[in-house]
């Protein structure tokens, strides 16, 4: 198994003309490990640099996660975060919430996040 960096994931998902073939071959021919931080950074790059909409990012990362040789560091947490992101929660916030499993609450000043995550476990609340 090899670990891949964000730039491999982004080149694959954006079908980058110059490097897609190499990224594709790498993922096709190797079992690859994807750290949770790579998912977080890929979201940022796809949003900021490539101007992908939230739903496009969620769909792309979900499809990527189903590739036969892709292994996420925390597959259940990433899946839960992608589901929340599909419902409007920022992916970074969703990953934070998924990682807080077992805590009594996730506390934030972000009112929008608290509102969008109403009913989540653990609950999201303001201080």
pTM over 0.85: yes
Could you give the residue range(s) of every CATH 3.40.50.1010 domain in the chain? 1-73
Beginning with the edge strand found earlier in the chain, give each strand of the sheet holding 32-34 in spatial order: 2-3, 32-34, 70-72
CATH for 1-73 is 3.40.50.1010
- Residue 109, judged by CB atoms within 10 A of its CB (0-12, 13-18, 19+), counts as exposed
pLDDT at residue 33, as a whole number: 98
Q: What is the pLDDT of residue 39?
A: 97
Per-residue pLDDT of the chain (127 residues; tens, 9 = 90+): 999 999 999 999 999 889 999 999 999 999 999 999 999 999 999 999 999 999 999 999 999 999 999 999 999 999 999 999 999 999 999 999 999 989 999 999 999 999 998 888 899 999 9
Query: Locate tokens 């969008």: which residue?
Result: 116
According to the model, what pLDDT value does residue 109 have? 95
E strand or H helix at 71? strand 70-72
Question: Would you state the pLDDT for residue 118?
Answer: 86
CB within 8 Å of 119: residues ≥ 6 apart: none
* pLDDT for position 101: 87
Tokens 């009913």, located at residue: 119
């Amino acid at each position: 198994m090899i670990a891949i960096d964000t730039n491999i994931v982004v080149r694959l998902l954006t079908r980058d003309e110059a490097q897609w073939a190499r990224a594709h071959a790498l993922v096709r021919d190797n079992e690859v490990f994807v750290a949770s931080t790579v998912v977080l950074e890929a979201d940022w790059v796809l949003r900021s640099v490539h101007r992908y909409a939230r739903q496009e990012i969620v769909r792309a990362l979900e499809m990527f996660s189903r590739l036969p040789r892709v292994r996420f560091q925390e597959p259940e947490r990433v899946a839960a975060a992608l589901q929340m992101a599909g419902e409007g929660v920022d992916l970074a916030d969703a990953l934070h919430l998924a990682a807080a499993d077992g805590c009594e609450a996730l506390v934030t000043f972000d009112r929008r996040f608290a509102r969008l995550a109403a009913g989540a476990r653990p609950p999201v609340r303001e201080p």
